[in-house]
Structure 1
C-alpha cells in the first residue's frame, strides 16, 4: 500500500506510514514515460479548470520574473498533490496530503498554495500559486493509518476564485447490492475517469534506505479510464466510504502526486478523491508502486460535512 502524495517533506513520512500499513492492514487488493503519458494514460483532452495543483511556496521567489528563471525540475518538483476547486475559496483534497501540517491548520505564513485554472505545472509555477491559509480535516482521520477513513480535507484559499469554473460533486450513491455476509455495497456502472499530474512511471521504493527511484512528475494534466471494482476488492469489502478502481487499459495507473485528484463519473461529476494504492514486493527489500488498482474516498458520503464546514451549498448532481 502506498500513499499517492509527492510532498518533498513527505517522502520519509509517507514511507513510514506505508511500512505501518504493510504491518497493520490485513486486506489489500492485488495490483492487476513521458510528459504526455498519471502512469500510461494520455494528456487530458479537455480543460478541467477546477482541478488544482498543490505546490510548495517555501523558497519560491515572489516575483514572476525570478520564478521564470528557475529550472524546469524545480518547477515540476514543487507539485505534491492534486485538489478540486468546489467553492470560490475552498479546495477539496486528501487529508494525508496535509500530514506535515497536522499540528497547525491555520497558516499565518502559508507553506503551500493552489495552482488553479491551468493544465501545465510549469506555467502554474510561473503564474504563482494562491496561498492556502487554513485546512479543515475530519476529526476521525488517523494520520498513522494509511487506510484511515475520512481521508478528505478542505483548504481555504487566501483569495477568492470568482471567475474560475467550479467542480460539481456527485450526490448519487452507487447502486446497492447484497453480497458477502449480507453487506450492502455500491458500485458504479460505466467508465470512470481519473485525472492528475502524478508520476509518469511506476516508483520503486527501497525499504531499507527509503530511496525512491523513477520519480518523474507529469508536466501536463493527464487522464486514464477506470472501472469500479469495489465489490471484488478486499480494500472496499466493508468500506462503502471507498471506491476501488482498476484501469481499463493495462499499464495505466494513478501514482505519487495524484493524491487528492478527482475521479469522475460519465457525467463528469466528482465521485472520488484519490487516497491510496497497492503495490507488490520485488524482493531484495524493494517494493513497486503505481501499477494498477487504486482507492478513492467516496465523495457523496462527505457532501453534508463539506457544506456544513464551509457554510455554503455546493454544485451537486
Structure 2
C-alpha cells in the first residue's frame, strides 16, 4: 500500500497506489494529471499519515507510463510509476501479485479495498489506513471496470482512495478509479480499473525497466 504525497508538505496525501515490483508502483492515471511528478513523494510502509514511522520508505518518481488514459470516459485509468531506486522488502513493505491477463472476476467475489480516503463525501481524511470488505457486483458496471458495493450499509471508497488497490484472494485485481455523485451513495457501485486488462502491458514495461 502506497501513499502519494506532495514533497515537503505535511499531511499532503492525495492518492494511493500499490507496489507491484521493487521499483514499480501501480496507481490511477487521474491522480497525476494535475500534479508535477517532481513534487510527488511515493511513500511505502505507512500506517499513520501523521507519524514518522520507522517502517516508512520515501521515493521520487523516475518515469511514468500511461496506457491511453481517457479522462472524459474514465477509461484506462492506470499509471505505472518507476521509482528512483528499489524498495526494501520486509514485513511492512511487500509486492502485490497481479492477476492473469483477461482473468474474470465473478459477481459476488469478496475483496478488500483500502486507503486514506475521506470517511465521507464532506468528511476529512483519516490519520490511519482504513480497510473495507467489499463485494464485486456487475450491475451498472462496464467491462473495463471492476465494481463493488458494501451490502446493507453506506460505505465505500472516497476521495483520496484513488489509485489504491482492490485485493481479491491476495491478488491486485483493480485500481480505485471513481465514484458517481458522492461517496457511498448506495445507488451506484464504486468503480475500479480492471487490472487484468493491463497485465501484458505492465509486464512489458517491467521487463524493459528492471
Whether TM-score is above 0.5 comes out as yes
Q: Runs ≥4 in structure 1, deviation > 6 angstroms?
A: none
2: CA distance, partners of 1:95 / 1:197: 18
**1:240 lines up with 2:143 in the alignment:** yes
1:75-224 equivalent positions in 2, closer than 5 A: 75-76=10-11, 78-101=12-35, 110-123=38-51, 129-138=58-67, 140-143=68-71, 145=72, 147-163=73-89, 164-171=93-100, 173-174=103-104, 187-203=106-122, 214=123, 216-224=124-132
Instruction: Report the 3-state secondary structure (helix = DSSP H, G, I; strand = E; otherwise coil) of the residue aligned with 2:51.
Output: helix
Provide the rounded CA distance (Å) in 2 between the counterparts of 1:87 and 1:124: 24
Q: Within 5 A, what are the aligned runs for 1:17-96?
A: 51-57=1-7, 60=8, 75-76=10-11, 78-96=12-30
Considering only CA atoms, is the larger Rg found in Structure 1 or Structure 2?
1
CA RMSD of aligned residues (A): 2.3
Q: What secondary structure is seen at the aligned counterpart in 1 of 2:33?
A: helix
- Counting matched residue pairs gives 202
Pair 1:298-2:194 in alignment: yes
Q: 1:173 to 1:250 in 2, by over 3 A?
A: same
Structure (1 or 2) with the greater helix fraction: 1
Task: Give yes or no for contact 2:16–2:161 (8 Å, CA) kept in 1.
Answer: yes
Deviation of residue 311 (structure 1)? 1.3
Matched, 1:229 2:179: no
Q: TM-score normalized by structure 2? A: 0.86
2:166 to 254, 263, 268: 263
**Structure 1 125/162 Cα, relative in aligned 2: closer, same or farther at 3 Å?**
closer
* Cα deviations by residue, 1:186-215 (Å, 9 ceiling, x for unpaired): 634431111111001223xxxxxxxxxx3x
SS in 2 for 1:223: strand
DSSP-derived class of the 1:100 partner: coil
The residue number in structure 2 matching 1:310 is 206
Q: How far apart, CA to CA, are the structure 2 residues paired with 1:161 and 1:80?
A: 21
Shift of residue 133, structure 1, vs aligned partner: 2.2
Aligned 8 A contact 2:16 2:115 in 1 = yes
Q: C-alpha offsets along residues 213-262 of structure 1, whole Å, 9 cap, x if unaligned?
A: x3x111111111111112x21xx2xx312111111351211100000011
The secondary structure found in structure 1 opposite 2:82 is strand
Shift of 1:270: 0.9
Secondary structure in 2 matching 1:166: coil
CA distance in 2, matches of 1:249, 1:169: 30
Work out whether residues 202 and 291 of structure 1, in 8 Å CA contact, stay in contact via their aligned partners in 2: no
